[in-house]
Amino acid sequence: MAMDAEMEPRVFLFQADGLVKTRRAIFLGDEKLQTADDRLLQEADRVQETGPFTVTEKEKAPPSGDKHDYTSMGPYWWPDPKEPDGMPYVRRDGEVNPESRKSDRQALAGMCAAVDTLSTAYFFSDYESFAERAGLLLRCWFLDEATRMNPHLEYGQAIPGRCEGRGIGIIDTLQFSRLVDAVGLLGASAEWNAEDQEGLEIWFGKYLDWLLESDKGRDEGRQANNHGTWYDVQVISLALFVGREEVARRVLMESVLGRVASQIEPDGRQPFELKRTRSLDYSIMNLIGFFDLADLGRHCGLDLWGFEAENGSSIKIAFYWLIENALGKNEWEYQQISEFEQGKLIPLLRRGGIRFGDPSCEERLRELEGVDLEGDRSQLLYPGPRV
């Protein structure tokens, strides 16, 4: 499995040659990258002590009785104050019930974040201890017989008193699209071998089949908002990871092109996200999903970055509408019940600037308030004019 460190990694969301260029610059001592690289190494040192994470550690078994089945609870559902037992739960959009954190969702997020950090730090440093820990975390979650997760999400985002799981629970695994790129960054390490890679591809092949064939998977694929967007991101990235390019291309042609027209207005607004109580966060989240779809499309010969639907909608128009309204002189006029962190705009502005050839995005980045731009990981993952 090991490969020459200067060979391009097998990644789908990131631009492989750009990562190699950044890696080479770091080894040559590029001072412009030092702050981001130092911060990444510090974060990797910290997460080496976390985990391992497993689905089998939960106290209560899911309805199936099998602790290997992933379970989570819908985050915006709360006990009904009008009912003595609180059942069935009622929805309060944008308000997270702390009870929902007592599930596999937190462990999954912790595992994905740790593997992402460790794998990225390994790629840019060659420190085998990072790859060793990332491999351990991956094997515990996906491969080891005693702790591995079953490849389905039948019990994702359950609602007490209403249902044991929902199709929209598939949003819980949106990190998987980034995770398979993190695995690609381990390619040069002896700590991630051919057997590990084969086992993980088999697991994700089964999960891909479940996404495509199960009732819950098909339901999520029909969603007209960020849920549908991120479902497509998962399906396409996993299909590319397991070598099923025909599936990736079919979803791009039959689903994604239509999403551009149905989820983005000709003026750039994303109406389904603007309805939410945290409309700015959800608009950014959905647009990042479209950015990921555009990068994935390059592997199938489809230019989504330059695509314009018949009604005039495009990813580019959505990007500029969002930037102007989030960072313009006028206040955001839609509902946003929580404080917005401007740091969430860093990868969006950097990627948009690169893909649309717009140097003014770098000026916008420097105008963001309360962010550590020089230390942000985007400086390494999306190398722009700073490299």
131 CB-contact burial (10 Å; exposed 0-12 / middle 13-18 / buried 19+): buried
Pair type for strands 77-78 and 90-91: antiparallel
Q: Nearest to residue 349, comparing CAs of 323, 383, 326?
A: 323
Rounded to an integer, the average pLDDT of 238-258 is: 98
Which token pair is 293? 């779809």
pTM score: 0.95
For the chain, percent of residues with pLDDT exceeding 90: 94
Which token pair is 317? 């128009």
Asked if pLDDT for residue 298 goes beyond 80, the answer is yes
More confident residue, 369 or 266: 266
Maximum Cα interatomic distance, the chain, rounded to a whole number of Å: 66
Asked if pLDDT for residue 274 goes beyond 50, the answer is yes
Q: Nearest to residue 93, comparing CAs of 104, 109, 77, 107?
A: 77
Contact partners, residue 74, CB within 8 Å, separation at least 6? 89, 91, 100, 157, 158, 159, 166, 169
Asked if pLDDT for residue 3 goes beyond 50, the answer is no
Contact partners, residue 80, CB within 8 Å, separation at least 6? 86, 87, 88, 89, 90
For residue range 329-364, list pLDDT tens digits in order: 788 999 999 999 999 999 999 999 999 999 999 999
Q: What is the pLDDT of residue 4?
A: 47
More confident residue, 124 or 2: 124
pLDDT-based confidence at residue 328 (cuts at 50, 70, 90) = confident
Q: What is the pLDDT of residue 313?
A: 98
Rounded to an integer, the average pLDDT of 265-279 is: 98
Which token pair is 31? 């001072």
Q: What is the pLDDT of residue 364?
A: 94
Contact partners, residue 9, CB within 8 Å, separation at least 6? 16, 19, 20, 123, 184, 185, 187, 188
Phi, psi dihedrals of residue 77, rounded to the nearest 5° = -110, 135
DSSP string, 265-322: -TTS--HHHHTSTBHHHHHHHHHHHHHHHHHHHGGGT---TT---TTS--HHHHHHHH
User: Mean pLDDT of all residues in the chain?
Assistant: 95
pLDDT-based confidence at residue 89 (cuts at 50, 70, 90) = very high
Q: What is the pLDDT of residue 330?
A: 81
Q: What is the pLDDT of residue 361?
A: 96
Asked if pLDDT for residue 139 goes beyond 60, the answer is yes
Asked if pLDDT for residue 2 goes beyond 50, the answer is no
Q: What is the pLDDT of residue 385?
A: 59
CA quadruple 176, 91, 225, 241: dihedral, nearest 10: 10
pLDDT-based confidence at residue 135 (cuts at 50, 70, 90) = very high
Residue 328: count of CB within 10 angstroms of its CB: 9
CA atoms within 13 A of residue 385's CA, in its CB half-sphere? 13
Rounded to an integer, the average pLDDT of 221-230 is: 98
Contact 200, 192 (CB under 8 A): no
Rounded to an integer, the average pLDDT of 301-316 is: 97
Peptide bond into 63 cis (omega under 30): no
CA distance 162 to 62: 15
For the chain, percent of residues with pLDDT exceeding 70: 97
What does DSSP assign to residue 151? S
CA distance 297 to 305: 9
For residue range 45-85, list pLDDT tens digits in order: 999 999 999 999 998 999 999 999 999 999 999 999 999 99
Rounded to an integer, the average pLDDT of 364-382 is: 94
CA distance 296 to 234: 10
Q: What is the pLDDT of residue 387?
A: 44
Asked if pLDDT for residue 311 goes beyond 80, the answer is yes
DSSP string, 231-263: HHHHHHHHHHHTT-HHHHHHHIIIIIHHHHHHH
